């Protein structure tokens, strides 16, 4: 609990303040067992410091698991800047934040998250070396949604193989909820694989993009209509909490695999999905292509190398689904076990000499 910080298992939590610029940030380092902690900076108007702390503790832990399963030599961390980015964000504030990141001497690498952008990383980089997700002009990896979508497609192939026997979406009907940066790329991969795509987005511009570029894609009114549609695979690519007590009973798909973070509205949903015979490919496993893309930048960005790493999400997802069957647990539990095993086994090596 928050009353007893040692109970959360984090290595380090750093509170940062710069009164001049209004900066209030919290950097959470869950684990450096596999290497420096990597995770983005969320700039968000939290209602309270307690809410900001709860979020950073949760997100940094999630990054440790995601990075471990992505096969990266990186631990898990995350940062939050508490405030309204529209009002507060400035060069001095970002640079003040960058100095705090630098002060951790490489125990934490930052990147983009909700409320922060590539251009912000370029500003932060004027104060610290420990920042990734920078602009292409600065040697950065650019838009991480490219490999996020590629990785989701790979995870979806593994799930399709597990359920239907062949690692392809050929002939399947796939419902894509959210045609943003990731959803657009994913739609293209699915069409290339000869899937039928049914999609939805609240933004009329996104719907217009589909009509203009992929007229064969069927558009439905909203996510509820997509859930109830006759689809084989459901791919949540909009916001978190897509799978809840209302959507799961209505879901007709046999597989859920998508980019959105935190797709399960609460822990009980896992069992609800399993009881309905729906295979859920854990979000943090299949959406790791983005972090793989920005992590590659630390070595000097090479797109082909990063793409190859993201392609391995197919193997990891397959391994997790098999482990889940063998151990009789939901895929998300199997994923956690695999991540914990790697952190323990490889992390141990890093402490013996
Ligand atoms: P985005 O903001 O570009 O796209 C989201 C799209 O969803 C927008 O077009 C929006 O209009 C639509 N949308 C929002 N609410 C909706 C609703 N209720 N019904 C239907 N459509 C709705 O975001 P992006 O980058 O494509 O990310 C999508 C998801 O994947 C997010 O949850 C994000 O956290 C997650 N993710 C993204 C990564 C990346 O590299 N971009 C990496 C890992 C996860
Ligand atoms: K830990």
Query: Can you give the CATH number for the domain in which 21 is found?
Result: 3.40.50.10860
Q: To test the ligand 1 pocket, which listed residue (116, 241, 259, 291) has its Cβ within 8 A of the most ligand atoms?
A: 259
Which of 5-9, 38-42, 88-92 comes out lowest in average pLDDT? 5-9
Ligand 1 atom index nearest CA of 114 = 34
Q: Which residue has the tokens 């405030």?
A: 83
233 has a pLDDT exceeding 80:
yes
Contacts 24+ apart (CB under 8 A), 210-214: 210/179, 214/187, 214/188
Lookup: tokens for 127: 């104060």
32 and 83 co-located in one domain: yes
Q: How confident is the model at residue 85 (pLDDT cuts 50, 70, 90)?
A: very high
Tens-place pLDDT, residues 185-229: 999 999 999 999 999 999 999 999 999 999 999 999 999 999 999
- Whether residue 173 lies inside any domain: the answer is yes
Ligand 1 closest atom vs CA 283: 44
Domain boundary, last residue among 99, 117, 138: 138
Per-residue pLDDT tens digits for 161-171: 999 999 999 99
Same domain, 131 and 187: no
Q: Looking at ligand 1, which residue's alpha carbon is closest to its atom 1?
A: 180
237 CA to middle of ligand 1, Å? 5
Measured in angstroms, how far is the CA atom of residue 147 from the centroid of ligand 2? 28
Pocket mutation for ligand 1, best pick of 55, 238, 244 (most atoms within 8 Å of C-beta): 238
Distance between Cα 30 and ligand 2 center (Å): 5
Provide the pLDDT for residue 46.
97
**What is the mean predicted confidence (pLDDT) over 330-353?**
90
In a domain, 351, yes or no: no
Q: Which ligand is nearest to the CA of 152?
A: 1
Mean pLDDT value of segment 60-89:
97
What are the beta bridge partners of residue 236?
A: 177
Whether residue 183 is found in the same domain as residue 327: yes
Domain termination site, one of 113, 138, 163: 138
ipTM higher than the 0.85 cut: yes
Which tens digits make up the pLDDT trace of 147-160?
999 999 999 999 99
Domain count, the chain: 2
Question: For 6-12, what is the mean pLDDT?
Answer: 86
Residue 344 falls inside a structural domain: no
Q: Atom 35 (ligand 1): residue with closest C-alpha? A: 260
Ligand 1: residue whose CA is nearest its atom 17:
202
Distances in Å between the Cα of 149 and the Cα atoms of 125, 132, 144, 153, 165 are 27, 19, 9, 6, 22
Q: Are 122 and 155 members of one domain?
A: no
116 inside domain: yes
Tokens of 58: 């949760």
78 is catalytic: yes
Report the relative pairing of strands 173-177 and 75-82 from DSSP bridges: unpaired
Same domain, yes or no: 105 and 190: no
Catalytic pick among 78, 89, 184, 254? 78
One domain for residues 323 and 199 = yes
User: What is the 74 CA–ligand 2 centroid distance (Å)?
Assistant: 13
Give yes or no: residues 131 and 164 share one domain: no
Domain that holds residue 214: 145-288+316-338
Ligand 1 centroid to 289 CA: how many Å?
15
Looking at the structure, do residues 328 and 251 belong to the same domain, yes or no?
yes
Residue 241 to residue 238: CA distance in whole angstroms: 10
Task: Could you list the beta-strand ranges (E) of 65-172.
Answer: 75-82, 108-109
Is the same domain home to 126 and 159?
A: no
Residue 296 lies in a domain: no
In a domain, 343, yes or no: no
Mean per-residue pLDDT of the chain: 95
26 found inside a domain: yes
326 with 183, same domain: the answer is yes
* CA gap 75, 208 in Å, rounded: 40
Residue 348 lies in a domain: no
Residue among 226, 237, 286, 307 to mutate when testing ligand 1 (max atoms within 8 A of CB): 237
273 lies in the same domain as 186: yes
Is residue 3's pLDDT more than 80? no
Calculate what percentage of the chain has a pLDDT beyond 70. 98
Indicate if the alpha-carbon torsion angle 163, 169, 170, 171 is positive or negative: positive
Q: What is the CATH number of the domain that holds 204?
A: 3.40.50.720
Question: 22 with 130, same domain?
Answer: yes
Residue having the nearest C-alpha atom to atom 15 of ligand 1: 238
pLDDT of residue 130 exceeding 60: yes
Ligand 1 first shell, C-beta below 6 A: 144-145, 148, 177-183, 200-203, 206, 223, 237-239, 259-261, 287, 290
Q: Which of 87, 113, 138 is the last residue of a domain?
A: 138
- Count of CB atoms situated within 10 Å of the CB of 307: 17
Name the pLDDT band for 6 (thresholds 50, 70, 90): low
């Amino acid at each position: 609990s928050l009353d007893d910080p040692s109970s959360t298992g984090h290595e380090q939590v750093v509170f940062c303040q710069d009164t001049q610029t209004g900066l209030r940030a919290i950097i959470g380092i869950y684990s450096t067992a596999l290497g420096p902690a990597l995770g983005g900076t969320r700039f968000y108007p939290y209602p309270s410091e307690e809410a900001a702390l709860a979020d950073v503790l949760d997100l940094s832990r999630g990054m440790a698991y995601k990075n471990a399963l992505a096969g990266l030599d990186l631990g898990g961390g995350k940062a939050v800047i508490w405030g309204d980015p529209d009002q507060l964000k400035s060069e001095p504030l970002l640079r003040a934040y960058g100095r705090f990141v630098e002060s951790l001497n490489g125990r934490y690498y930052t990147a983009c998250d909700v409320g922060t952008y590539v251009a912000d990383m370029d500003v932060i980089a004027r104060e610290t070396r420990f920042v990734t997700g920078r602009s292409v002009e600065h040697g950065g990896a650019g838009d991480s949604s490219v490999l996020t979508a590629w990785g989701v497609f790979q995870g979806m192939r593994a799930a399709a193989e597990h359920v239907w026997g062949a690692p392809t979406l050929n002939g399947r009907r796939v419902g894509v909820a959210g045609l943003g940066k990731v959803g657009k790329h994913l739609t293209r991969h699915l069409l290339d694989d000869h899937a039928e795509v049914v999609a939805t987005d609240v933004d009329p511009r996104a719907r217009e993009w589909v009509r203009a570029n992929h007229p064969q894609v069927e558009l439905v009114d909203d996510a509820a209509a997509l859930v109830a549609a006759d689809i084989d695979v459901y791919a949540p690519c909009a916001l978190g909490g897509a799978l809840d007590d209302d959507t799961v009973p209505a879901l007709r798909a046999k597989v859920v695999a998508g980019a959105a973070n935190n797709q399960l509205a609460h822990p009980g949903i896992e069992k609800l999905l399993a009881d309905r015979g729906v295979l859920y490919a854990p979000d943090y496993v299949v959406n790791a292509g983005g972090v793989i893309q920005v992590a590659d930048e630390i070595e000097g960005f090479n797109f082909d190398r990063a793409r190859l790493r993201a392609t391995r999400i197919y193997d990891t997802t397959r391994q997790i689904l098999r482990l889940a069957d063998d151990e009789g647990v939901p895929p998300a539990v199997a994923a956690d076990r695999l991540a914990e095993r790697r952190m323990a086994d490889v992390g141990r090596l890093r402490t013996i000499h």
